[in-house]
Amino acid sequence: MTVRDAIQSVLSQYETGLTCQEITTQILKNNLYHFNTSDPKAIVRQELRRHCEGLDFPSAHPSKVFRIVSGERQEAIYSLLTSSTKGNVTINAAPSPITTIDDDSDLLPEEVIQKYYEIHKASIKAQLLDNILSNAPEFFEALVVKLLLSLGYGYDTEAGKVVGKSHDGGIDGIINEDKLGLDKIYIQAKRYKPSQKIGSKEVQAFVGAMKSVKKGVYITTSSFTHSAITFINTQQEKNISLIDGNTLTELMVRCRVGIKFLHAYDTYEIDSDFFETT
């Protein structure tokens, strides 16, 4: 069952509709879909809005199965789009998100754009994490090598490779910074659930597995314990960077790894120099 199927299953039981949070709660309560993210509401909201009649934005899906029936609770209420309701969309049925959130009233338009851009990015990052955790560990190992190459590490785009279980010591990937392989970066990739943190024992084992290699990157979809971070920051033998799930998805967005560019919005300000009189 997909997320959209789960939403439809829930809404089929509530003719008057539900908010996004209420739909998410029902999906979790009835175990209709397993979310690999700490923010399942973001996943549900994305599916609702993309398939909602009357909403048109770059990533909106042409197939519409939901509609907004009310915004009286300062939140949109969604219901299933049926043959009898299709096309019956009014202005009041789909209020602007800006007008339904009280604390936006004092913001400048460009501030509102920035705020909703950050909300959009947070939603994309949640979806990235969900997709990573839904794939095999081997997929994640290949992803982190591709990401580091996209960040500019390695002598060219073919400088990285996944080694996984074939490498003695548990190293998952290697990036050569020169063509002769004299300078290397070792990679450890752990595809863990957000609640499963990486401890000091794991990072110590990584340091040991690096042997004579001085540079390393430990990447996880979860996070690191305080003791793990302290160990890496205080040890002086290796130069190691720790990348948690939030930083991972931030870098993926920045490098456009696993996402596609859809649309850009320009913002403007008055050119005061143009209007100055001499």
pLDDT tens by residue, 141-151: 999 999 999 99
d(CA 35, CA 270): 46
User: Is residue 131 within 8 Å of residue 115, measured between CB atoms?
Assistant: no
Q: Which CA distances in Å does 213 have to 81, 186, 209, 210, 216?
A: 59, 7, 9, 5, 8
Considering all CA atoms of the chain, what is the largest pairwise distance in Å, rounded to the nearest integer?
A: 74
The partner residues of 66 in beta bridges, in order of sequence, read 52, 80
pLDDT tens by residue, 211-257: 999 999 999 999 999 999 999 999 989 999 999 999 999 999 999 99
Residue 105 has a pLDDT of: 53
Q: Are residues 90 and 191 in the same domain?
A: no
Local confidence band at 164 (pLDDT 50, 70, 90 cut-offs) = confident
In total, how many domains does the chain have?
Answer: 2
d(CA 89, CA 178): 60
Please report whether residue 125 resides in a domain.
no
Local confidence band at 271 (pLDDT 50, 70, 90 cut-offs) = confident
Q: Are residues 69 and 146 in the same domain?
A: no
Please report whether residue 216 resides in a domain.
yes
Residue 8: other Cβ atoms inside 10 A: 18
Strand pairing report for 215-220 and 239-243: parallel
Q: Residue 194: is its pLDDT beyond 50? A: yes
CATH for 142: 3.40.1350.10
Q: Are residues 138 and 99 in the same domain?
A: no
Q: Residue 204: is its pLDDT beyond 90? A: yes
Q: In what order do the strands lie in the sheet with 239-243?
A: 160-162, 173-176, 184-190, 215-220, 239-243
Per-residue pLDDT, averaged over 72-99, amounts to 60
Residue 83 structural domain: 3-106
pTM of the model: 0.76
Q: Are residues 12 and 99 in the same domain?
A: yes
Q: Residue 59: is its pLDDT beyond 70? A: yes
Please report whether residue 17 resides in a domain.
yes
Per-residue pLDDT, averaged over 3-10, amounts to 96
Q: Are residues 61 and 161 in the same domain?
A: no
Residue 103 has a pLDDT of: 45
Q: Residue 100: is its pLDDT beyond 50? A: no
Please report whether residue 112 resides in a domain.
no
Residue 228: other Cβ atoms inside 10 A: 22
